[in-house]
Amino acid sequence: MAKFRLSLFLLAQCLVLNGALAKGGAPQLEQATKAYDQALYGTTLKLIGKSSEKDYAASLLEARTHEAYDGYASDKYAHTADLAPNPSLAAMWRGYGLFLSRKYLPAQNQLLTAIRLNPNNALAHAFLGCSLCYADELERGLAEIKKAQTLDPTPNAYDQYMAIGYVGAGESKKAEVFYDKVIAKNPNSARYYIMRADFLDEAGKFPAALADYNRAIKLSPQSQYAYFRRAHLYSGKKMYAESIPDAIKGSELENVEEFGKKSRRLLALAYEKTGQPKKTIEVLKPYVAHCEFTRRLSGTDKLAIFSLIEACEKVHDYKTAKVYVDWVCRIEPKSTEALAKRARVSFELNDCPASLRDYSALLNTDPTSSQWFIERAKVYEKLGKTEQAKADLAKSKSLED
């Protein structure tokens, strides 16, 4: 059975589980912990402030918050390890950070070190169990999780670790049983509903996932992540009109930039699919400006830029399309898709020499593309070069035959 992606919410237990938050702790940190439980990640980070740089409990909470939305959680856990009150906890958090990075063998080595330093470190046993399950050692993994529960039966988190273990092993039906137990014990936690909804979404159970996101939003109507995830769920089912309100909320609430970017991409896609190119442009222009400012361009960012170019073409704003396609060609000079778009846009702007250069460059790269011969023939025809146009059309026909 195929494995599911690593859960974004592995650490659902309270901070008190490993003594991170002592009784009578800072009220601000207690508020941040409550915000985290309601999946209010931006709120959590604002409440923590800079205290996480030197405070173990705050650093741990920040690491958990980052775990939900970016790839730097392992670094955050490494920092938490540096602040840990004893060597066993330090090794445990380093191991967990490695686990998040899918480095299962190094993670297990660190977690075994944590257990050697303190055989009664229940949480280290639980994390080791999860890591073993993801490394295709289900029996050993479940045994470690059960060992953790034997060592410390008081926390309420072991059902979750059992669920995680079964997720790691690709046993979705068994995982769902334990997620149900988690919800039964925590019926008022938005984050637990989101956690199960993410799992159900990944398992392809749309109605159940939607019900959980609905419940989470009812419990926590300011949770940016919950709206983003529900928009993502709708979008995956091509329910684009339904995804628009949630994508807007996901773009605006809490101001966690990663959720905002993903929500804006979903919103632009929804506008595109519902035939609203002007709104697509309205959403994507600031998105692309941010990409240009940060000089970072992921694969999904490139898709967004091409969507913007296509939206501009649909409203016949070829000048604006040319600005963006020129930028893509500068930073991705080997992109044939970008070059083809620039050739087409230049043609629409009556810049036939530029269009001809690009189509010729494309055909030098791939002389077997019948479509590019057809497109270049149109350019030759527009330039009045009838013989060259006929030659390209003949070449295109021979390739198709």
370: three-class secondary structure by DSSP: helix
Q: Tell me how far apart the alpha carbons of residues 261 and 237 are, in angstroms, rounded to a whole number.
A: 20
| Residue at 296 is within a domain | no
* pLDDT, tens only, 296-345: 667 788 888 999 999 999 999 999 999 999 998 988 888 899 999 999 99
| Residue at 279 is within a domain | no
pTM: 0.86
What is the pLDDT, as a whole number, of residue 54? 87
Look up residue 383 and give its two tokens: 């330039």
| Residue at 273 is within a domain | no
Torsion of CA 165, 170, 176, 179, to 10 degrees: 30
* pLDDT, tens only, 31-69: 999 999 999 999 998 998 888 888 999 999 999 988 887
Q: Which domain holds residue 3?
A: 1-183
Q: Tell me how far apart the alpha carbons of residues 336 and 344 are, in angstroms, rounded to a whole number.
A: 12
Point out the domain boundary residue: 159, 183, 207. Answer: 183
| Residue at 2 is within a domain | yes
| Residue at 8 is within a domain | yes
Alpha-carbon separation of residue 18 from 121, 154, 240, 314 (angstroms): 9, 11, 43, 57
Look up residue 6 and give its two tokens: 């690593």
Half-sphere exposure of 277 (CA within 13 A, CB side): 13
The separation between CA 37 and the C-alpha centre of its own chain, rounded to angstroms, equals 20
Point out the domain boundary residue: 183, 203, 220. Answer: 183
Point out the domain boundary residue: 141, 168, 183. Answer: 183
| Residue at 36 is within a domain | yes
CATH of the domain at 123: 1.25.40.10
397 Cβ neighbours under 8 A, 6+ residues apart: 370
* pLDDT, tens only, 223-232: 999 999 999 9
Over residues 8-37, mean pLDDT: 61
| Residue at 41 is within a domain | yes
The total domain count for the chain is 2
| Among 8, 15, 92, residue whose Cα is nearest residue 57 | 15
| Residue at 199 is within a domain | no
